[in-house]
Amino acid sequence: MATGTHTGTGRADVFRKCYDFKRADEVKAAGLYPYFIPIEGSEGTIVTIDGEPKIMLGSNNYLGLTHDPRVIAHAESIAKRYGTGCTGSRLLNGTLDIHLALERDLADLVGKEAALVFSTGFQVNQGTISTLIGRDDTVIIDKLDHASIVDGCQLAAGQTLRFRHNDMADLERVLKKAESNSGGKLIVVDGVFSMEGDVADLPEVVRLAKKYRARVMVDEAHSVGVMGPTGAGAAEHFGLTDDVDILMGTFSKSFASMGGFVATEAKVIEYVKVHARSMIFSAAMAPYAVATVQKCVDILKTEPERRERLWRNAEYLKEGIQSLGFDTGACDSPVVPVIVGEVMPTFAFWKDLLIAGVFTNPVVAPAVPPNSSRIRTSVMATHTEDLLSQALEIFKKVGKQHGLI
Ligand SMILES: Cc1ncc(COP(=O)(O)O)c(C=O)c1O
């Protein structure tokens, strides 16, 4: 029931849209509301929900490092030394020596001159893109790029143009259209698309960027730690590190923490550092988060077998889901979507998977195109084959119940 001084006065009220919003209540009444599910405990691959163990197939913990005892011990010791938070912006009182050390390690990892860490990956895209795209410039993005890229473009002074998902002929059409613009051009793509699990056609993006004199930025959120000979990401995977001008990544996935980084030429980092509002007007990444990422980078470098296990698990899950007869789209990464179509059948499938023992993520528009609602699954290096085959059995049983296979 709407309350408050504006109710019934006939005056416009910014709360009106909230009082009128019924969709979440309807889905809750149907017993199918799938968001903000509280997890009571976690061992990484197994989580506890409502007192019951569930196989976790819905996290971005690709290397399975969130519960690694070495990572936890390092985070604890750094929290003891520096405290629990920085309580201020990097610009003023929030820069620690470990931020700078981590930036050197990350620049080294991805093969760029310099790097800059922000408190979230979202802030990296928002701050970097809005800072670099001036009034006369054009930013060109894939229609399925992450929301943080879209928001960065919205904050930018210049023009934003979009091309069809991973469609290089359409990218060329857009680049031609932008030729008459007087300013510079930046193409931004996800390395691995988060809801599709497919990989950007970077060789073609780079070729077209050279032809039309555009710069290239790759969001490696789902590819750093996962792809490439040293785990540096999709650009490294294609041997294009030097041809991609800007790389960004997050710490909320393979690096088992929170925060993000951008890596590029030192002169560009120096500029972004003092212009990006999401860097300047937001508190610095917490010390224990920095420590977590430092340890994860060390482990990534010294334990390549983790990535091998991750890819074995990704293949195992993908082949298993496909052989059951589900549609997984064009995925080629540890993200394996199971495409259902309509929203409510997707929520109903998700719910029964959870009851049967598997935690997944239901994804609907606008995160994916309408009528392409899906269950997003993703594997970790630490899933055992036994656990994944248990999950596949559950997909088989529930998929049949729902008439999906
Ligand atoms: C492709 C992509 N870019 C950026 C982000 C933002 O990262 P963060 O979670 O660190 O804010 C995400 C995470 O959801 C992502 O999937």
Nearest-angstrom CA–CA distance, 321 and 336 = 9
Band of pLDDT at residue 131, cut at 50, 70 and 90: very high
Q: Residue 216 pLDDT > 60, yes or no? A: yes
pLDDT on residue 5: 55
Closest C-alpha residue for ligand 1 atom 10: 121
Residue bearing the CA closest to ligand 1, atom 15: 221
User: Is it the case that residue 3 has pLDDT exceeding 90?
Assistant: no
The pLDDT value recorded for residue 7 is 58
Active site amino acids: 194, 222, 253
pLDDT tens per residue, range 338-355? 999 999 999 999 999 999
Note whether 138 and 158 are within 8 A (CB). yes
- Ligand 1 proximity of 231 Cβ (cutoff 6 Å): no
For the CA of 148, the closest atom of ligand 1 is 4
309 lines ligand 1 (CB under 6 A): no
Which CATH number is 69-302 given? 3.40.640.10
Confidence grade of residue 11 (pLDDT, cut at 50, 70, 90): confident
Reply yes or no on whether the pLDDT at 1 is more than 50. Answer: no
Over its C-alpha atoms, the chain yields an Rg (Å, rounded) of: 22
The pTM of this model reads: 0.96
The CA 227 to ligand 1 mean position distance, Å, reads 17
Asked whether the predicted pLDDT for residue 88 surpasses 50, the reply is yes
% residues pLDDT > 70 (the chain): 98
| DSSP, res 94 | I
User: Does the CB atom of residue 194 touch ligand 1 within 6 A?
Assistant: yes
Confidence of residue 8 (pLDDT cuts 50, 70, 90): low
Long-range contacts at 392-395 (CB < 8 A, ≥ 24 apart): 392/317, 392/320, 392/321, 392/324, 394/55, 394/353, 394/356, 394/357, 394/358, 395/320, 395/321, 395/324, 395/326, 395/338, 395/353, 395/358
**Comparing C-alpha atoms, which of 213, 204, 249 is closest to residue 228?**
249
Residue 232 has pLDDT above 70, yes or no: yes
pLDDT of residue 6: 60
- Ligand 1 atom nearest to CA at 194: 16
Whether 253 contacts 225, CB under 8 Å: yes
Domain boundaries, the chain: 20-56+304-401, 69-302
Q: Is the CB of 219 under 6 A from ligand 1?
A: yes
Taking each helix axis as running N to C, give the angle between helix 343-356 and helix 385-401, from 0 to 180 degrees, rounded to the nearest 10: 130
Distance 127 CA to ligand 1 centre (A): 13
Q: Are 176 and 212 in contact (CB under 8 A)?
A: yes
* Mean local confidence (pLDDT), 153-164: 98
Q: Is the pLDDT of residue 204 over 70?
A: yes
181 CA → ligand 1 middle, Å: 30
The finding on whether 142 has its CB within 6 A of some atom of ligand 1 is: no
120 in ligand 1 pocket by Cβ < 6 Å? yes
- The CB of 146 under 6 Å from ligand 1? The reply is yes
* Ligand 1 nearest atom to the CA of residue 193, by list position: 1
**Ligand 1 atom, smallest distance to 190 CA:** 1
Task: Supply 175's token pair.
Answer: 């680049």
What is the chain's mean pLDDT, rounded? 96
Q: How confident is the model over 7-34, as a mean pLDDT?
A: 90
**Cα→Cα distances 327→74, 324, 339, 373, 402, Å:** 42, 9, 6, 12, 14
Ligand 1 atom closest to residue 145's alpha carbon, by position in its atom list: 1
* pLDDT tens, residue by residue, 354-391: 999 999 999 999 889 889 999 999 999 999 999 999 99
Q: Is the dihedral of CA 234, 236, 238, 240 positive or negative?
A: positive
Residue type, 98: I
Q: Check pocket membership of 128 for ligand 1, CB cut-off 6 A.
A: no
Distance, in Å, from the CA atom of 185 to the CA atom of 325, rounded to the nearest integer, reads 43
103 lines ligand 1 (CB under 6 A): no
Cβ–Cβ < 8 Å for 405, 398: no
CA distance 42 to 35: 18
- Asked if residue 139 has its Cβ within 6 Å of ligand 1, the reply is no
What residue's CA is closest to ligand 1, atom 12?
A: 221
Whether 200 lines ligand 1, by a CB cut-off of 6 Å, is: no
Position 268: which residue type? V
CA 261 to centroid of ligand 1, rounded, Å: 11
**Interatomic CA distance for residues 239 and 88, integer angstroms:** 39
- Pocket probe for ligand 1: among 148, 194, 257, 361, the residue whose CB has the most ligand atoms within 8 Å is 148
pLDDT of residue 114: 98
Instruction: Indicate if the pLDDT at residue 81 is higher than 80.
Output: yes
CA 192 vs CA 19, 141, 382: distances in Å: 38, 14, 21
In a mutational test of the pocket of ligand 1, which residue from 61, 250, 255, 296 has the highest number of ligand atoms less than 8 Å from its CB? Answer: 250
Whether the pLDDT of residue 255 is over 50: the answer is: yes
Ligand 1 centroid, distance to 250 Cα (angstroms)? 6
What does DSSP say about strands 114-118 and 260-264: parallel, antiparallel, or unpaired?
Answer: antiparallel
Q: Tell me how far apart the alpha carbons of residues 186 and 85 are, in angstroms, rounded to a whole number.
A: 35
CA distance 88 to 284: 6
Q: Which CATH code of 3.90.1150.10, 3.30.479.30, 1.10.3430.10, 3.30.2310.20 fits the domain covering 20-56+304-401?
A: 3.90.1150.10
